[in-house]
Structure 1
Amino acid sequence: MNSPDELPGHKPPTRAWRAFLIYDILMMVLIVVNLLTIAIDHLMFTNIGLSAAQFIGQTGWVYEYREQLHPVVQTVDEWVTIYLVIELLVRWLVAIVFRHHHRWFFFPFIHWYEFLACIPTFRALRLLRAIVIGYRLYQLGYKVLPDSWLKAGRFYYQVVMEELSDRIVLTILDGVERELKTGATHHHLLHQLVNSHRVQIEQAMGEVLQNNLATALQAQQQQIAQGVGQIVSKAISDTPELHRLLRLIPVVGSLMEQQLQSIGQRLGENITAGLIEPFAQPATTKQPVNAAINTSASYLGQLRIDTPALEKLVESLVFESLDVIRQQVKIQHWKLDQAVQEDLERATRKPISVPDA
């Protein structure tokens, strides 16, 4: 056990510090003994205590205790309660004089369990005072309890807190889902949710279009332009009115038709390339989304979601998000941590095989 003198960087304790330390230890012992006597006193007035006495053949002990020792225990508990009240008021006065807290009335809120423990009905809260003192001694280097007990206590504390928090979160999620499904204002909430994230929607749409559409257009720009040019050329050749008109021109009519088809094809290719070029511009450090795609994303981000399909999509995303969170909350992480700890302990206990010389 490390004493405070052995702790690194700890100043040698003064007489006042030792006096407070001894007082804390005595208070912890007093509270524990007081709670034990109260628990035994209550046990003696239950059928369990009487049955246990009958089992060992000492029923007279129970009746003797009820008649003689019970009044003594009650009197001692009353004096202990009076002492705790006086001690608490003195500590409050000291905290006010020496300005231990920002406001004088903060003390009752910080030590709420001590104030409630002065009420006989809430005597069990005195155990919290003993736990606080024990924890303070543990921080100072005094092992009030064995390490195995502290480890088990931390483990079960984490289990209880995780299970309680999980139940609270699941209840809240169920309430949110029920409100969204049955409430009359869920459409307004969904619209408000989308409206408050329109800037993020625009940015996300711009990045998606830049990473997918711009890249695809850049790779297929030549093929698309050639395809459109061929379509224009075929459209010219498939126009019977133009074909008949050119046939009326002797000698050069067929040549003009070929030239028109070639010109139309090049026009189609150039126009298509010009239309694709702004959208196919690659991203840069200063401009992660090109201007054309940014304009399109801004327009898409401002779309209204009054259509049934969009409203259904948003509702589906919200409900599935709640389900994902619910499934994640249901995972008992303390079991996973326990399994990992057991694996580590087995690995450390595994004997190391030494190769034969």
Structure 2
Amino acid sequence: MFTINRANLRNSHQLIWFIIDFVMLGLLFLNIAWIIFDALYAIEAVKDLLFTYAQPFAEFYRPIHRNFIFYDLIFVSIFLTEFVVRWIYAIRMKVYLRWYFYPFIHWYDLLGCIPVGSYRFLRVLRVISIIYRLHKYQVIDFTKTRVYGFLKFYYEAFLEELSDRIVIKVLSGAQEEMTHGSPLIHNIQNNILLPRRDLLTEWLSEKVAETARTGYIPNRGALRHYLENCVDDALNQNVELNRLRQVPMLGPQITETLEEAVGDIVAQVIHQILDDLASARNHGFIDDIVSTFLQETEEGHETTESERQIIQVVNEIIEAIKKQLEIKRWRQEL
């Protein structure tokens, strides 16, 4: 069973309302049990069984069943009185922005007060609302009960099954679209990406410049030293340059000058490229790249081999996701 936190109940500024909640909860349980019993009494087989084995009680209950609506109106009047008192309190304390919001927000309390047919069973909603309110204010705790654990487990299992099936259905549809040459990719490229080519170019230009500034400029010296070492290693392995180094007198001087010149040229070219990428001058370069990748295509154009390979890779990724979704966590927990 649930536990009652007596400390929170005593220290609460709404103690009187919580007491009323417990009283109303008891009346609701009594009333709902009575409604169920009266519904069973209306069945001839149940009535005959009562007259056979409990005739005094069946005779006693017959006039109560005949005037059930009258007796049920006593409960309804209590429920409506409590509803009106809470409404007046909400108006006085300005709980809601408008005085007439209360009955719309607490519509489930009003529906249960309709004393006609199946509307009576809607009083279960009022039971749920009271229990939820007591749980929210930590007066009672249902999280440790078996009923709560049972309902939570199967609720999450239901949501997992439903969501997984929906996602798998959507992914399978996407695979069908890509495999059978759907105009979806064509529409995305021509109607969504191409009209925003300038925006994509500007965004990529800023990202490339930011990456070059943060990654290159602080390490300019280290990069230059690395390039010079690479050039030196390459020149030392060059056969023609080794022959030139063997020339008497001028050979070593020429090769040394040539190594410094080549290293300086390579480092300067690399630095210039990275400086351009780190500035606004990269816009034209990025624009050429974006224009190469984003070219308007005619609907129904033949898919190239590279596009088919890309589609195959995407399909394999989607298939791996679908297999992962087929693993049910709730079954493992069970």
Tell me which residue corresponds to 2:164. Answer: 170
Structure 2: state its 5+ residue gaps: 296-303
Residues 169, 268 of structure 1: alpha-carbon distance in 2 compared, 3 angstrom cutoff? same
Tell me which residue corresponds to 1:33. Answer: 30
Q: Find the aligned partners of 1:297 and 1:176 in 2 and give their Cα distance.
A: 40
- Out of 76, 81, 92, the residue aligned to residue 87 of structure 2 is 92
Aligned length: 295
Give the match's secondary structure for 1:118: coil
Q: Is 1:227 the equivalent of 2:222?
A: no
Q: Find the aligned partners of 2:68 and 2:253 in 1 and give their Cα distance.
A: 116
Q: Equivalences for 1:1-357 in 2 at 5 Å?
A: 3-4=6-7, 10=11, 20-44=17-41, 50=46, 58=53, 70-81=65-76, 83-85=78-80, 87-119=82-114, 120-134=117-131, 136-137=133-134, 150-167=144-161, 169-170=163-164, 172-174=166-168, 176-177=170-171, 180-181=174-175, 182=177, 184-185=183-184, 187-189=186-188, 199=203, 202=207, 206=211, 210=215, 219=226, 222-224=229-231, 226-227=233-234, 233=240, 262=255, 266=259, 267-277=261-271, 291=275, 294=278, 303=290, 305-306=293-294, 309=306, 313=310, 320=317, 324=321, 327=324, 332=329
For structure 1, which segment, 33-42 or 124-133, has the greater mean C-alpha deviation from structure 2 after superposition?
A: 124-133
Q: Find the aligned partners of 1:26 and 1:158 in 2 and give their Cα distance.
A: 27
**1:191-228 CA distance string (max 9 Å, x none):** 85897888489469948x959xx999975652345426
Q: Find the aligned partners of 2:204 and 2:102 in 1 and give their Cα distance.
A: 46
Q: Which structure is higher in RCO with an 8 Å CA cutoff and minimum separation 6?
A: 2
Amino acid at match of 1:303: V
Amino acid at match of 2:108: Y
- Identity in percent: 18
Q: Find the aligned partners of 2:126 and 2:23 in 1 and give their Cα distance.
A: 12
Shift of 1:32: 0.7
Amino acid at match of 1:88: F
Tell me which residue corresponds to 2:299. Answer: none
Give the match's secondary structure for 1:303: helix
Give the match's secondary structure for 2:164: helix
The normalised TM-score by structure 2 is 0.57
Q: Find the aligned partners of 1:327 and 1:51 in 2 and give their Cα distance.
A: 56
**1:279-302 CA distance string (max 9 Å, x none):** 7xxxxxxxxxx7466469975696
**1:246-296 CA distance string (max 9 Å, x none):** xxxxxxxx98997998489534444223334567xxxxxxxxxx7466469
Q: Find the aligned partners of 1:174 and 1:204 in 2 and give their Cα distance.
A: 40
The normalised TM-score by structure 1 is 0.54
Structure 1: state its 5+ residue gaps: 238-253, 280-289, 339-357
Shift of 1:96: 3.0
For structure 1, which segment, 290-299 or 96-105, has the greater mean C-alpha deviation from structure 2 after superposition?
A: 290-299
Q: Find the aligned partners of 2:113 and 2:316 in 1 and give their Cα distance.
A: 48
Tell me which residue corresponds to 2:301. Answer: none
Shift of 1:37: 1.7
Q: Find the aligned partners of 1:204 and 1:319 in 2 and give their Cα distance.
A: 34
